[in-house]
Amino acid sequence: MTLRKNIRLAFFFAAAALSVAGCGIYSFSGTSIQNDVKTVCVVPVENKALKINPTLANSLTEALNDKYRKLTNLEAVDDNGDLTVEASISSYDVKAAAITANEVAALNRLTVTVKVKFTNFKHPEDNFENSFAAYEDYDSSNSLDSVEGALCETIVEKLVDDIFNATVAQW
């Protein structure tokens, strides 16, 4: 290629990158946040499940805050955010996931369900209330107490990804 063609290509790609960055609602992290939205408030998660894991609500709150802080330019505030995420753990259940020929559970499944109310005060058309569930299976020869920490860590990651995507990535 000639120097002139290289310069034209470079100019074209620079202009394309600037036009995408300048539109205001697209980012390379996959979020689509309008320009006038500046703050997010993650209300501390409540645990309303019948069976309670004492650390789960706090872990979920911290993970949500970390996700917004790392992947958006939104300022985290304690109240009156442009975006507000209110969540409550509605169920924390263990059930058999696989049964052997002897009718004994080979695998158990821990499922956590979280109800989320998302409010966008700048763009109310984005508001929603929805439930998100995530689960992890574990060998029934293990007690829940022995695997609960690792299971909850993975479940929290899945829930946070789903909630984040639904709120600011709008997937």
pLDDT-wise least confident of 53-57, 67-71, 96-100, 152-156: 96-100
CA–CA gap between residue 75 and residue 126 (Å, rounded): 19
Tokens at 139, concatenated: 């060998």
- Residue 2 is given by DSSP the state -
Per CATH, is 37-169 categorized as 3.30.160.150? yes
CA–CA gap between residue 37 and residue 42 (Å, rounded): 15
> What per-residue confidence (pLDDT) applies to 19?
44
| This prediction's pTM | 0.80
* Pairing relationship of beta strands 39-42 and 83-99 according to DSSP bridges: parallel
Q: Which residues pair with 87 in a beta bridge?
A: 116
Mean pLDDT of the 137-155 span = 95
Say if residue 2's pLDDT is above 80.
no
Residue 143 backbone dihedrals phi, psi, to 5 degrees: -80, 155
Say if residue 150's pLDDT is above 80.
yes
